[in-house]
Amino acid sequence: LLVNYLNVVCLLSVQAVSHLAVLVAQVFLPLCRSQTHLLLVFTVQGVFLGANNNLSNLLTVAVQGNAAHAWMQALFLAYSGAVLFAPLLSTPFLSEAAARKHRSLSSN
């Protein structure tokens, strides 16, 4: 029980550092004056956001144990559904030129 508690505390502290790194990247975002700086800031932000997502998954498994499997599958199902339906839902709100391009690509 103590080892599980220490694992959760360790995951939470690493997750806090990840949140802090994303916050620092957000602060430096308006200060970017070249594409290289912008790429570096987005890379740092993406790495730490991905780490944060993975740590959240690990934390869910550490806290809930075997009961987390159904929740994790539902989470990934929701992500997959969003990826599938987001283009379909956003098409009516696109500009007319983008909508014409979308229709021409769909007809091919």
Question: Three-state DSSP class for 95?
Answer: coil
Signed CA dihedral, 80, 84, 87, 89: sign only: negative
**Residue 40 pLDDT greater than 80, yes or no:** yes
**Residue 1 pLDDT greater than 80, yes or no:** no
**Which of these, 63, 106, 71, 68, lies nearest to 88 by C-alpha position?**
106
Q: Are 28 and 48 in contact (CB under 8 A)?
A: no
Q: For 43-98, how does the pLDDT look when each residue is reduced to its tens digit (9 = 90+)?
A: 998 888 888 888 877 777 777 777 777 777 787 788 888 888 888 887 777 677 76
- Rounded Cα gap, residues 51 and 18, in angstroms: 7
